[in-house]
Structure 1
Amino acid sequence: MHIINVLVLEDDDFEAVILKEYLEENHFNIVKICNNIVDAIEIYHTQTIDFIIIDIFLNGKPDGITFAKTLLKRTRNVTPFLFLTGHAERSIFENAKVTHPHGFVLKPFNEKELVYTIQLILNKHNRSIEDNTALNDNSSVPYFFKKNGVFYKILPKDISFVEVEGRYCKIITLKTNFISQYTLTDFHKQLPSFFLRVHRNYVVNANKIKEVHSKDNLIVLENNQTITLGRAYKNTFFDHYKVIR
């Protein structure tokens, strides 16, 4: 399970201690608690951050809003964040709203309120990513493969891997195989983004991977089929994942 890395921007030491306690008790990893936006920006761009908690007022100024605006300018896909504030004035809310925060939590807050809000934001954010990925990948659009005069309907998710077959390529599914007149490189371009080139002879459905034996350069699929992980593709392959050691 991936641990959620949290960046906190909070200048009140007492509030920072409470946040640290609440988050760690609920298995979040606090990467850093910053009390100014300069440090927060540096941490954001040098560490892996999954979620940000931002106090709107730092040293009496709405620097939290400034920090959020900076993220919008510098980053295309902003990490989900929520604002903390002890100010309930409408003007503060309207000013903060232009940064499109994923949520607001008013001080004083309790543990469940904070944690549930974060979990709801992350669930919504993840669903949005999954929906966009599915839309962009066209992963629900089927292929029709011809074999012995019959056209077989196959969804991309049902393809385990694709391998070189002479000048063409072979599509492997759990039930049967097909030969395409595309080269492996050209057929890979037709596939959704969850298909990874792992060898000059193989493209693999990442969702079918069960294990990776790094020392042996071997990929094990759900059906216990094995695929060679090419040395030239190894670094690129692991770039698609967050490796927890």
Structure 2
Amino acid sequence: MLNTKILIVEDEVLIADYIAELLEEEKFTTIKMAHDEEVATFLMETFIPEIILMDINLNGKNSGIELAKSKKGNTKVIFLTGQYDYKLMNDALQTNPDSYLTKPIKKQDLIAAVNLAIIKLQTNFIIIKDGYNDVKINLDDILFVKSDGNYIDLQLINKKYAIRKSLDAFLEDIQSKDFIKIHRSYIINRTKISKKNSTSVFINEIEIPLSRNLDFEL
């Protein structure tokens, strides 16, 4: 998908230009750049990139990490960093990036990361049977999955689908780190959690039980 929309968020203009040139050499055609947080926020709202190459230390701050948290829908994030600060990288990894690259950027690493993100964009959905119809569901639209006997219910924002499958089989099918089994009867989309305590998580104000001794980062 050479027309994949790619946003480069990098405060060093020469590095941003270099990355854009490498992508253009590979025939990617839809590329925009932002050199500060304000422009990046604007382009994330208006350009709506499918892939963001995000500098962690934008303008000398860790604002790239915060920006990544505001990505839209199924957008894939690849962090760019020149630092080997364990805490900083741990903070960045908590946002579930799709990859990260260390500077200086190498062409083969960049293209491999972008192509992997494209593959993820193409496979981030499931197709289920709804009566006689095949329905394509974006994984990002699923809030949580609940076991109900021999079926599971896929709970979307305004709709629910029931399919004949186990929770474990569902996880095996989707292979997504955003979905975790937190209880014998529930799988949640961790990106949809609004709050969490020692016994429950909340998604759209719906309380979902958390198995004892299970802990994870939001």
- Answer yes or no: is 1:59 the counterpart of 2:59: yes
1:79 aligns with 2:75: yes
CA distance in 2, matches of 1:70, 1:123: 22
Structure 1 segments unaligned to the other structure (5+ residues): 140-188, 195-245
Determine the C-alpha separation between the residues in 1 that align with 2:49 and 2:96.
Answer: 18
- Alignment gaps of 5+ in structure 2: 137-218
Structure number with larger C-alpha Rg: 1
Q: Which amino acid aligns with 2:126?
A: T
Identity across matched positions, percent = 27
Distance 2:2 2:75 in 1: 16
Is residue 93 from structure 1 mapped to residue 89 from structure 2 by the alignment? Answer: yes
2:134 aligned residue (170, 181, 192)? 192
User: 1:16 maps to which residue?
Assistant: 16
Instruction: State the SS of the aligned residue for 2:65.
Output: helix
* 2:126 alignment counterpart: 133
Secondary structure in 2 matching 1:59: helix
The Cα RMSD (Å) is 2.0
1:43 Cα deviation (Å)?
1.2
In 1, Cα distance between equivalents of 2:28 and 2:15: 17
Task: State the shift of 1:70 in Å.
Answer: 2.2
Letter paired with 1:121: A
Alignment of 1:206-217 (within 5 A): none
Higher helix share: 1
**TM-score under structure 2 normalisation?**
0.57
Question: For residues 30 and 82 of structure 2, what CA distance do their matches in structure 1 show?
Answer: 22
Q: SS state of the match for residue 88, structure 1?
A: coil
How big is each residue's C-alpha offset from its partner over 1:110-161, in whole Å with a ceiling of 9 and x where there is no partner?
Answer: 111100111122213422x2xx322xx228xxxxxxxxxxxxxxxxxxxxxx
SS of structure 1 residue aligned to 2:39:
helix
Runs (4 or more) in structure 1 with deviation over 6 Å come to: none
Say which structure, 1 or 2, has more relative contact order (CA 8 Å, 6+ apart).
Answer: 2
1:47-70 CA-to-partner distances (Å, cap 9, x unmatched) read 242211000011210110010122
- Deviation digits for residues 67-126 of structure 1, max 9, x if unmatched? 01222xxx4x23011000000121111010111100010001211110011112221342
Which residue number corresponds to residue 119 of structure 1?
115
- CA distance in 2 between partners of 1:62 and 1:52 (Å): 16
Aligned length: 136
**Distance change in 2, residues 1:16/1:87 (3 Å):** same
Normalising by structure 1, what TM-score?
Answer: 0.51
The whole-number CA distance in structure 1 between the counterparts of 2:39 and 2:132 is: 43
Q: Distance in 1 between matches of 2:14 and 2:49?
A: 23
Task: Tell me, in whole angstroms, the C-alpha distance in 1 between the residues paired with 2:114 and 2:76.
Answer: 9
Kept in 1: contact 2:34–2:40 (CA 8 A)? yes
